[in-house]
Amino acid sequence: MAGLISRGFLGRRRPAEVENRLPPGQYLVTDFPVLSAGPTPHTPLDRWSFTIEGLVQSPVTWSWEEFQKLPTQTYTIDISCVTKWTKLDTKWLAVSVDTLLQAVQVDPAGRYVMAYSDGGYTTNLPLDEMVNGQAFVAYQFDDKPLEPVHGGPARLVVPHLYFWKSAKWIRGLRVVERNQPGFWESLGYHIHGDPWKEERYSGD
Amino acid sequence: MVQPVLEWQAGRVTAIRPETRQTKSFSFALPKWMAHRPGQHYDVRLTAPDGYQTQRSYSIASPPERLGEIELTVERIPDGEVSPYLHDVLMPGDQLELRGPIGGYFVWEVSLGGPLLLVGGGSGVVPLMAMLRHRAAQHSTLPARILYSSRSAEDVIYRDELDGMAAADPTFEPFYTFTRQPPAGWTGYRRRIDATMLAEVMRPFDRRARVYVCGPTLLVEAVANALVQMELPIEQIRTERFGPTGA
């Protein structure tokens, strides 16, 4: 989108190999900012569980102990927050959503997912953007247990969408038929949230 | 809720006012101004001659009662890309691309009720000030307090205005704490905000307080955790991180 030239602004340029990895309007950070709408939940691991429910043949729930036994992968991915920062090459240990969905049989009517978290947070996602390696539930960041401020004990990570879609403190996925807005999507943020299309706000 | 489509618009700088050594307030006249909810922010976009663009978000400091204009208070981050431009280059009469208002959760308005407890650190006070200015403009007598942490006396943004509001309004009281250099003769708090301090400031409000916390992550986490420990219902605690991440 063309813009008004800002008198005297040149901007901070990065090497092309970095610049090409920054979605439009984003800037590079090397720290890991924390954004939350309310207090950080601190759910003890013995009371933590992860559930897949909704339009599935039979819902499944894993305890923390059971979840730890699921096969994991390491992912190195770039993340972009709608508040404009992008962090490159973040490293996660996680269970692929493909692995989780293998435990249930999704009803053909189920086309969307509502991810839900401790503290009441929700976010909506198309099911076909959660599969084939596109999304995972992570419990280690940088080889260490994921800190509560960053969503620990476990958070969803969906690297190709703005980071509010990567629900912190995740406790489950509800497979649904219709695309209903989650928490931020009800408050003016985009229903989909692709950073490369700059889908920041409703109507973008 | 129907959301308006947010378009970029060219705001014209009508005033620039230094607040502290590190912060300035910028007023913009907006051709497509719309009333915001106190606590919301605007996005700012800068464009270089070759088309390179970058964006940042800044909290609105002014109340929605100020028609046709918004004021943003911005901290200058020495190694930042946008805030040094705003501080060092932008002048009254210049145009700047803005879009907003944005954000629908970290907001308070008189209709939401009180009592209101605002907790801020550093430039995190900015969206809280919009709430207080709105409350004053509405002549609201909902009890309100702000607990505001600064490094030193020179770093307190809006000090005179906050004290002036308190002098004119017995239902509002500001509390300051200084983590490094309190003013000479200071007898108030001189430490990071902790549970004891929060309990003291919140005492008359008990667990009815609606609390808004904005500041650096460590402050927000400490305050929100302490409030949960004090058994304040979590739906009454709203937080926003604010601080010098690459701004």
Each residue's pLDDT tens digit, B70-96 = 999 999 999 899 999 999 999 999 999
Same domain, B116 and B231: yes
Please, what is the average pLDDT of chain A?
A: 96
Residue B95 lies in a domain: yes
Closest Cα in chain A, distance from residue B35 (Å): 15
Residue B46 lies in a domain: yes
d(CA A51, CA A53): 6
Segment B40-67 shows an average pLDDT of 96
Same domain, B201 and B128: yes
Query: In chain A, which residues touch B (CB < 8 A)?
Result: 1-13, 24-29, 31, 33-40, 42, 83-85, 119-120, 149, 183-184, 186-188, 201-204
Question: Which domain CATH number covers B175?
Answer: 3.40.50.80
Specify the DSSP element, H or E, that contains B225. Answer: helix B217-229
Other Cβ atoms less than 10 A from the Cβ of A4: the count is: 15
Segment A48-54 shows an average pLDDT of 98
d(CA B12, CA B33): 12
Residue B247 lies in a domain: no
**Final residue before a domain boundary, out of B78, B102, B126:** B102
B2 has pLDDT over 90? no
- Write the pLDDT tens digit of every residue in B96-110: 999 999 999 999 999
Which residues of chain B are within 8 Å of residue A186 when distances are taken between CB atoms? 1, 104
Q: Is the ipTM of this complex over 0.85?
A: yes
Domain that holds residue B68: 9-102
Same domain, B230 and B198: yes
Residue B50 lies in a domain: yes
Domains defined for chain A, CATH in brackets = 23-31+44-197 (3.90.420.10)
A32 has pLDDT over 50? yes
Same domain, B121 and B223: yes
- How many folded domains does chain B comprise? 2
Residue B1 lies in a domain: no
Q: Which residue of B has its CA nearest to A86?
A: B246
Q: Which of A28-37, A82-91, B39-48 has the lowest mean pLDDT?
A: A28-37
Q: Contact at 8 Å (CB) between B6 and A201?
A: yes
Segment B67-71 shows an average pLDDT of 98
Same domain, B152 and B117: yes
pLDDT at A2: 64
pLDDT at B246: 36
Q: Contact at 8 Å (CB) between A98 and A44?
A: no
Of the two residues A170 and A34, the one the predictor is more confident about is A170
Question: Which domain CATH number covers B39?
Answer: 2.40.30.10
- Write the pLDDT tens digit of every residue in A173-198: 999 999 999 999 999 999 999 999 99
Same domain, B74 and B133: no
B148 has pLDDT over 60? yes
B243 has pLDDT over 80? no
Q: CB distance B246–A85 less than 8 Å?
A: yes
Q: Contact at 8 Å (CB) between B87 and B81?
A: no
When pLDDT is cut at 50, 70 and 90, the band that residue B247 belongs to is very low
B245 has pLDDT over 50? no
Residue B246 lies in a domain: no
Segment A132-136 shows an average pLDDT of 98
Nearby residues of A191 by Cβ (< 8 Å), 6 or more positions away: A124, A179, A181, A185, A202
* Tokens of residue B222, six digits: 């400490």
